[in-house]
Amino acid sequence: MSSAHTPLHVDFILTDVEPTDKKQVLEMLAEQAAKTDVLSKFKAKDLYKRLDQRESLGSTGFGDGVAIPHCAIDNLDDFVLGLMVTPRGVDFGSIDGNPVQLFFLIIGPTEQRNRHIKILSAISKIVRTPGAVDNLLRLKDRSKIEQLLKEHLTIREEKPDTEGYSLINTYIQKEEVFDEILELLSAEVEGSLTVIETQNAGEYLNRLPLFSSYWTEGSSTFNRLIQAVVPKSRCNDLIRQINLIEDTYADNPGILVTAQELMYASGSIDF
């Protein structure tokens, strides 16, 4: 499989705007999005409704002053990406309770779910980069903001694999890394991704009379298994990326990654 990292095109950048609340943020983003060629057939109020419906499922403000409002629409020709910078910040119901200053907008085709996830992952990755949010807030020139985004906001474009598939099993006991690893795999896997709740053997062995004196730990701990069917040519790179995440939390054990070549793989499942 051949692949390349493609810079994402940002359709509009709004700076020094001062929306007063969440509703006004979505209205301003919808109004600007409706001016793009891709969404020219849509009225701003209809785009607002779609963004607001997504927010009703849970705030897209994921903390650290950043939110990613997004929605999907049937039969769009392409994605629309936008950025709004609000120096004073807006209460957006973020998970950390802090005001949001950077709003990344994504509106894309319903049929391209995997690409949508890749874009979400790329944006979340750049804002987790130390200093990235501060740099975007500090820059006033739109061209410089656009250049910074082009340098860091990329997704991997790939051609279909013809060399078979591998199964990656990632066993996780560290709750703090689960979301990051799942996000990594979800951006790379076309549907064949499964999360399984598991338990330590001690959870069962301490109930057996023969083993009870050796397995006294009966409390439940965090245990999950992520299974991903991936193209064989992507296997080593994904394992490397998982290991980089693991290295960040290397003080104690809690992650085990195994991989095996599949003799046969057909179809996919939703996750």
Measured over the CA atoms of residue 74, residue 35, residue 62 and residue 240, the dihedral's sign is positive
Same domain, 56 and 102: yes
| Cα-only R_g, the chain | 21
Same domain, 212 and 127: no
Question: What is the arithmetic mean of pLDDT over 56-74?
Answer: 90
In a domain, 138, yes or no: yes
Same domain, 131 and 174: no
Where a domain ends, among 119, 139, 158?
A: 158
For the cut 80, the answer to whether the pLDDT of residue 225 exceeds it is: yes
For the cut 80, the answer to whether the pLDDT of residue 159 exceeds it is: no
Same domain, 11 and 102: yes
Q: How confident is the model at residue 133 (pLDDT cuts 50, 70, 90)?
A: confident
Same domain, 78 and 152: yes
Q: How confident is the model at residue 202 (pLDDT cuts 50, 70, 90)?
A: low
Question: What is the arithmetic mean of pLDDT over 167-177?
Answer: 91
DSSP string, 112-166: -HHHHHHHHHHHHHHHHSTTHHHHHHH---HHHHHHHHHHH-EEEEEPPP-S-EE
Angle (CA) 102 245 236, round 5°:
115
Same domain, 136 and 203: no
Token readout for 80 is 């629309």
For the cut 50, the answer to whether the pLDDT of residue 1 exceeds it is: no
Are 169 and 227 a contacting pair, CB within 8 Å? yes
Task: Give the largest Cα separation in the chain, rounded.
Answer: 72
Q: DSSP character for 186?
A: H
Q: Is 164 left (phi over 0), alpha (psi -120 to 50) or beta?
A: left
For the chain, how many structural domains are there in total?
2
In a domain, 123, yes or no: yes
In a domain, 199, yes or no: yes
**Amino acid letter for position 251:** D
CATH of the domain at 198: 3.30.70.120
Are 61 and 86 a contacting pair, CB within 8 Å? no
Tell me the range of 29-33, 110-114, 205-209, 225-229 where mean pLDDT is highest: 29-33
Question: What is the arithmetic mean of pLDDT over 207-234?
Answer: 71
Higher pLDDT, 162 or 9: 9
Kindly name the residue from 9, 70, 116, 152 that is annotated as catalytic.
70
For the cut 90, the answer to whether the pLDDT of residue 23 exceeds it is: yes
Are 51 and 29 a contacting pair, CB within 8 Å? yes
Nearest to 115 by CA among 268, 193, 6, 32: 6
Same domain, 105 and 207: no
Q: What is the percentage of the chain residues whose pLDDT exceeds 70?
A: 82
Residue 169's DSSP bridge partners are: 227, 258
Q: Please write the tens of the pLDDT for every residue from 79-122.
A: 999 999 998 899 999 888 889 999 999 999 998 887 888 888 88
Question: What is the arithmetic mean of pLDDT over 60-71?
Answer: 90
For the cut 90, the answer to whether the pLDDT of residue 210 exceeds it is: no
Same domain, 171 and 85: no
In a domain, 270, yes or no: no
CATH of the domain at 83: 3.40.930.10
Nearest to 67 by CA among 120, 31, 13: 120
Same domain, 153 and 176: no
Q: Check residue 95 and give its pLDDT.
A: 85
Where a domain ends, among 158, 179, 205?
A: 158
Q: Check residue 189 and give its pLDDT.
A: 74
5 counts as catalytic = no
In a domain, 216, yes or no: yes
What's CA 114's distance to the chain center, in Å?
Answer: 11
Same domain, 172 and 69: no
In a domain, 271, yes or no: no
Same domain, 145 and 199: no
Burial class, 134, CB count within 10 angstroms (exposed 0-12 / middle 13-18 / buried 19+)? exposed
In a domain, 268, yes or no: no
Where a domain ends, among 158, 181, 209?
A: 158
In a domain, 267, yes or no: no
Domain of residue 221 covers 165-261
Same domain, 33 and 81: yes
How would you classify the pairing of strands 66-67 and 100-109? parallel
